[in-house]
Amino acid sequence: MKQNTPVFPQNFLWGAAIAANQAEGAWNVAGKGPSVADTIAHKPNMDVKDYSGHMALTDENIRDALNGLNDQKYPKRRGIDFYHRYKEDLALFAEMGTKVLRVSIAWSRIFPQGEEQQPNEAGLQFYEDLFSEMRKHNIEPLVTLSHYEMPLQLSEKYNGWVHRNVVDAFVRYCNACFHRYKDLVRFWLTFNEIDSIHRHPFTTAGIREEKCAPGQAQQDIYQGLHHQFIASALVTRDCHAIIPGSQVGCMLTKLTTYSRTCHPDDVQATLKKNLENYFYADVQVNGAYPPLILRDLELRGIHIEMQPGDLDILRNHTVDFVSFSYYMSLTESTQPDAERIPGNTVLGVKNPYLPASEWGWQIDPVGLKISLLELYDRYQKPLFIVENGLGAKDEVVDGKVHDSYRIDYFRSHFAQMLAAIHEGVELMGFTSWGTIDIISAGTSQMSKRYGFIYVDQDDNGNGSLARLRKDSFWWYQKVIATNGSDLS
């Protein structure tokens, strides 16, 4: 009987997640250099359901950003002022029962231009204070080393990750972090959503298509990706050597895709999408490029420049666990007239069985279970859900936010996690995305809120920045306190 009651594992890591560029603000203090995120303007009139084009920047955009110094226009420069308010925020996370907090390190706080020989002490100290404060609250740090915030100078000088020198710069930066935080941080992620280099190459890898030779953009993006794979493997090696017992994960956008019909053409198109989505984790877990991907690149005339020893580096330094974000599923069809709807920086075919968020992302809790089963079956490595949540508009009424829609979203997803665990999936933990409201990565809006904690700020940066517990705060607190046995 006992065996048949689904339960979360005893040591399950319930937690929260944010990223430096969306939360910290303080973009130019204590020696921090500008990052790619600091150049992304909020466009009040953009179509928030189709914003992919807005994530590619031109020379003119960069010039404006650097000359204008207009924080109002660039929301990621102000974030939610986590940089100055982290103690208050950590106390709230602790009150909620948070066991693990995923944060990222802003690379340009540590190496402001990316290639200095010595790290910036003030930047190192900030994160030491942050991680120490987490430890005081018994919150385990889970740290992403690259989350859409590379030093802008590396993008300008090298067209980002296209150039091999960026590998060395990244390894130096990560080593500085490993040495400094070796007693504070055990869990590390190398690149957030490494696959997103194809969807928004500038924010992910500092690559601007304008700077690529005509017709070479795809070639350059794959080269940049190869450099990220190499860098990820090298720093996995270094992390293991410098911090005994540490664990390093890869991080993938799980874009689980269903076939719209059982027509073999649709099924084939869907298979291609899913293979493409797995490719990134395949390299980081199995330590080699999958043969079908290599052949596909060859057929497309894309040639990845490899240095002697690269294949050994990939093979010898694979990750310890597989982490991923999951917000929604997609559907694929070969029918040209199939209605397309938005998702996380992608468009997919509309699935008639699923509701969607206000931003058009299709809500699919069962898709999370399918994703867990697929990933575990494929890799047989521990899994970690490091992003999941509902972006929604919240309303404050009499000092309260009644976000039952958010609670419903999480309840249904937790039930599916539990079912997957029951069926044998090894799941280390779950960190909800944007647990405190932050600036949206895709649209730079503040009004797209994911949090259990409300932050008083609007899209133009007006507001007191006061923090407020939403109804979902209390609900998540209960979920954690009961280790997920009470989802009511």
348 binds ligand BG6 (CB under 6 A): no
Question: 24, 140, 156, 193: which one is catalytic?
Answer: 193
Q: C-beta of 415: minimal distance to ligand BG6 in Å?
A: 22
448 binds ligand BG6 (CB under 6 A): yes
- Identify the residue among 223, 431, 440, 457 touching ligand BG6 (CB under 6 A): 440
> Which tokens sit at 100?
């693990």
442 binds ligand BG6 (CB under 6 A): yes
CA angle 472, 475, 481 (to 5 degrees): 140
- Identify the residue among 325, 357, 362, 457 touching ligand BG6 (CB under 6 A): 325
Q: Scanning residues 20 to 39, which ones bind ligand BG6 (CB under 6 A)?
A: 22
Q: Scanning residues 379 to 398, which ones bind ligand BG6 (CB under 6 A)?
A: 387, 391
Catalytic residue status for 387: yes
Pick between residue 98 and residue 440 the one whose CB is nearest to ligand BG6: 440
- Identify the residue among 93, 384, 433, 476 touching ligand BG6 (CB under 6 A): 433
- Identify the residue among 19, 48, 96, 110 touching ligand BG6 (CB under 6 A): 19
Question: 387, 395, 423, 426: which one is catalytic?
Answer: 387
Pick between residue 287 and residue 391 the one whose CB is nearest to ligand BG6: 391
Give φ, ψ of 257 to 5 degrees: -120, 130
Nearest to 357 by CA among 448, 455, 263: 448
- Identify the residue among 441, 446, 453, 455 touching ligand BG6 (CB under 6 A): 441
Pick between residue 39 and residue 219 the one whose CB is nearest to ligand BG6: 39
406 binds ligand BG6 (CB under 6 A): no
- Identify the residue among 108, 153, 159, 192 touching ligand BG6 (CB under 6 A): 192
Tell me the residue nearest to ligand BG6 as measured from the CB: 442
193 binds ligand BG6 (CB under 6 A): yes
Q: Scanning residues 246 to 265, which ones bind ligand BG6 (CB under 6 A)?
A: 253
Contact region with ligand BG6 (CB under 6 A), list: 84-92, 224-232, 291-299, 435-443: 435-443
Pick between residue 8 and residue 450 the one whose CB is nearest to ligand BG6: 450
368 binds ligand BG6 (CB under 6 A): no
Q: How far is CA 127 from CA 176, 207, 217, in A?
A: 12, 27, 36
Contact region with ligand BG6 (CB under 6 A), list: 289-297, 440-448, 460-468, 474-482: 440-448
114 binds ligand BG6 (CB under 6 A): no
Binding positions for ligand BG6, rule: CB under 6 A: 19, 22, 192-193, 253, 325, 344, 387, 391, 433, 440-443, 448
Active-site positions read 193, 387
